């Protein structure tokens, strides 16, 4: 009969050789024995015990498998031959790549042919959805052009001319829209006061009535 194994021995990795879940290794940096799981062994994590300092030292200098290695001229030429784009010259030097006119023409022809052949399938994957006005999403903030055209030169509440923002009279959370009739110019303090003592109570009151 097999001997009984205590709960303490079950928790010790070195005391469960009957379970082929991993192996004991010795750290190449601190020389401490450690247990490595099978999933980590498959990924090649068998050199260090897992400590940050040990992992850092194991990949420095000559211990790094890529230390001092470069591509051969044949490999570099093969990599360059597979590039279908040309480097883009900027003031700082070469940055990124840009397709040649011939490559752009081929891409355009292939894209048009794919659309002509698979138009129905592509539209079926992402059909257009038309929503009524009450279900459409509106921007939470005014656009830059709307702020430039609709903003006033002073606050509508305190008449100050500093830190001005464009505010929704009826907040978006309560159904307000980004239209000129629903806009007013407020300073930042007045806008924050309105948000805390006007907009938020109005929104919570609307939740209570629904």
Start-to-end CA distance of the chain, whole Å, equals: 71
| Predicted pLDDT of residue 6 | 52
pTM score of the predicted model: 0.37
Q: How confident is the model at residue 28 (pLDDT cuts 50, 70, 90)?
A: confident
d(CA 27, CA 56) in angstroms, rounded, equals 13
| Predicted pLDDT of residue 83 | 67
16 Cβ contact list (under 8 Å, min separation 6) = 5, 9, 10
More confident: 206 or 210: 206
The winner for highest mean pLDDT among 13-17, 114-118, 171-175 is 114-118
The winner for highest mean pLDDT among 18-27, 54-63, 196-205 is 196-205
| Predicted pLDDT of residue 158 | 92
What average pLDDT does the segment 17-42 reach? 72
DSSP string, 45-85: --SS-S-HHHHHHHTSGGGSTTTT----HHHHHHHHHH--E
d(CA 71, CA 7) in angstroms, rounded, equals 54
Q: How confident is the model at residue 112 (pLDDT cuts 50, 70, 90)?
A: very high
Report whether 163 contacts 151 (CB < 8 A).
Answer: no
Rg (CA), the chain: 33
Among 31-45, 46-60, 70-84, 115-129, whose mean pLDDT is lowest? 31-45
Quick: pLDDT tens for 127-156.
666 666 555 555 678 888 888 899 999 999
The HSE-up count of residue 72 (CA atoms within 13 Å, CB side) is 3
Tokens of 27: 């750290």
Quick: pLDDT tens for 161-194.
999 999 999 998 888 888 899 999 999 999 999 9
């Amino acid at each position: 009969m097999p001997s009984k194994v205590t709960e303490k021995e079950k928790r010790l990795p070195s005391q469960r050789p009957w379970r082929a879940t991993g192996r004991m290794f010795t750290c190449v940096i601190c020389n401490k024995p450690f247990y490595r799981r099978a999933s980590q062994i498959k990924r090649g994590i068998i050199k260090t015990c897992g400590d940050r300092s040990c992992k850092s030292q194991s990949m420095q200098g000559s211990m790094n498998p890529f230390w001092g290695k470069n591509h051969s001229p044949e490999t570099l030429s093969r990599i360059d031959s597979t590039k279908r784009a040309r480097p883009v010259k900027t003031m700082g030097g070469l940055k990124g790549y840009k397709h040649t006119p011939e490559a752009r023409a081929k891409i355009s022809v292939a894209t048009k042919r794919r659309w002509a052949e698979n138009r129905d399938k592509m539209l079926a994957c992402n059909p257009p959805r038309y929503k009524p006005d009450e279900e459409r999403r509106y921007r939470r903030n005014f656009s830059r052009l709307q702020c430039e055209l609709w903003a006033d030169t002073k606050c509508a509440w305190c008449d100050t001319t500093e830190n001005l923002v464009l505010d929704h009279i009826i907040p978006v959370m309560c159904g307000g829209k980004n239209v000129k009739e629903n806009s007013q110019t407020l300073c930042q303090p007045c806008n924050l006061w309105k948000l805390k003592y006007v907009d938020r109570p109005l929104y919570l009151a609307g939740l209570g009535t629904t």
